[in-house]
Amino acid sequence: MKLWVHGEHLLVDGHKMAKSAGNFYKLIDLEEKGFSPLDFRYLCLQSHYRSKLNFTWEALQAAKNARARLSRIVEETRSSKLEARNKLEIQNSKYYKTFKEKMSVDLNTPEALAVVWEMMRDGKVSNEEKLSVYNEMDEVLGLYEDVIQNDIPEEIKKLAKEREEAREKKDYKRADELREQILIGGYKVEDRDDKYQISR
């Protein structure tokens, strides 16, 4: 089931966003200042959708720093060879259960995000459990693209590679056909400079 909810008003430095006030920003403005759209997503997740979100560059920088720290922890967790947990083991994790509870109570993303941090800092939880449960949580949060990449089926990766080869040969018709096949498979491919990114 997919749901769409409208968040409360977005403020900028405590004021309503408006072009006339000179405080109107687009994602491209954020990217030009070195921020990722995922940094902004992290910022949004820190506020409940029923609450006003006050955007400031300082708050966005703090969100970027927090997401970078989380990414480093995930990378450190992945540094050794791990055995992935199956779905049943993930669902039985106390942290996964708590995460689901927080999201089920009116999409409480701030508290759900707090559960993520609590789990990643818990020295009693194995790296296998942390990574497997985090991957599942990030299917909801969508904060860490590299983790998502690891869960992409080989068939989708193969199609993406074939598409890239078709683009290099300037066979754009074939590249478009392969993009459609990837979309049908439930994924999308985006071109980024000299590489491509696959995501859900």
Q: Is 25 part of a structural domain of the chain? A: yes
Strand 53-55 and strand 195-199: the pairing is unpaired
Structural domain harbouring 179: 154-199
What is the Cα 94 distance to its own chain's centre?
22
Q: Which two tokens stand for residue 105?
A: 């109570």
Q: Which two tokens stand for residue 63?
A: 């969100």
Burial (CB < 10 A; 0-12, 13-18, 19+), residue 119, is buried
| Residues 125 and 166 both lie in one domain | no
Q: How many CB atoms lie within 10 A of CB 54?
A: 15
**Structural contact between residues 78 and 138, judged by C-beta atoms closer than 8 angstroms:** no
Q: Is 4 part of a structural domain of the chain? A: no
CATH number for the domain including 90?
A: 1.20.120.1910
Q: Is 76 part of a structural domain of the chain? A: no
Q: Is 15 part of a structural domain of the chain? A: yes
Q: Which two tokens stand for residue 85?
A: 């947990």
Q: Is 144 part of a structural domain of the chain? A: yes
Digitized pLDDT (tens) for each residue of the chain, 200 residues in all: 567 788 888 899 888 887 787 788 888 889 889 898 899 999 999 999 999 999 999 999 999 999 999 988 887 877 655 555 667 778 889 999 999 999 999 999 999 999 999 999 999 998 888 888 998 899 889 887 554 455 578 888 899 999 999 998 999 999 989 988 887 776 778 776 567 778 76
Q: Is 30 part of a structural domain of the chain? A: yes
| Residues 146 and 158 both lie in one domain | no
- How far is it, in rounded angstroms, from Cα 83 to Cα 88? 14
Q: Is 85 part of a structural domain of the chain? A: yes
